[in-house]
Amino acid sequence: MGPFPHDAPKSEISDANPAGTDGFEFVEFAHPEPEVLRALFDSMGYTLTARHKSRDIELWQQGDITYILNNDAGSHALNFVDAHGPCAPSMGWRVVDAEKALAHAVSKGAEEYTGPGKTMNAPAIVGIGGSLIYFIDQYYERSPYNDEFDWVHKAYPEGVGFYYLDHLTHNVFKGNMDVWFRFYCDIFNFKEIRFFD
């Protein structure tokens, strides 16, 4: 693997990678005052690149990183913020085959999200605290955003030097570390690298 994830060969579904994960497609953010996030993203070198065609949802990008800013009334994201405060209500994972990833996850005990207000028209499961994990199988040159968003800027601008996401961290309620470790291990065959208590 070179310095960037897209330099690596495309992932395959295997015993080691049963859901066919292939990196991060996006992290979704929501806030009761979305201008706070717009200012933060801008200060970090992200560019507003697209707006949803019919909903109050924006794409902010830099390098191969996409942040989704969701301010759409009635969305899962804003309902999640009502319960948890400003946060990241979902993330999108690149996978080889979204339907196969969903079927595998459900077969291992995950709950498919079938409720209202999804951000993307893509399969999703319920994660920590009711957050969502979307499975996205169209990425790079087959952008998942073309059908639902209008581009207002060239996609994936260089920005100030952020190129890709290599990891995310979850905060869980005390006593739940093992529950969520098993979730990621059983469904995705993830391994524990570090543990912060």
pTM for the predicted model, two decimal places: 0.90
% of the chain beyond a pLDDT of 70? 92
Q: Where are the beta strands (DSSP E) in the chain?
A: 21-30, 47-52, 57-62, 65-70, 87-95, 124-126, 132-136, 149-151
**Amino acid 154: pLDDT:** 92
Q: Over range 150-158, report the average pLDDT.
A: 93
Q: How far apart are CA 178 and CA 185, in angstroms?
A: 10
Strand ranges across the sheet with 21-30 = 124-126, 132-136, 87-95, 21-30, 65-70, 57-62, 47-52, 149-151
* Average pLDDT of the segment spanning 112-139: 94
Looking at residues 94-104, what average pLDDT do you find?
A: 96
Say if CB 164 and CB 5 are below 8 A apart: yes
Q: How far apart are CA 41 and CA 197, in angstroms?
A: 29
Q: What is the pLDDT of residue 1?
A: 32
Domains located in the chain, CATH noted: 5-140+173-187 (3.10.180.10)
What average pLDDT score do residues 132-158 get?
A: 91
* Top-confidence residue, 119 or 170: 119
Burial of 11 (0-12, 13-18, 19+ CB in 10 A): middle
Predicted confidence (pLDDT) at residue 169 exceeds the cutoff of 60? yes
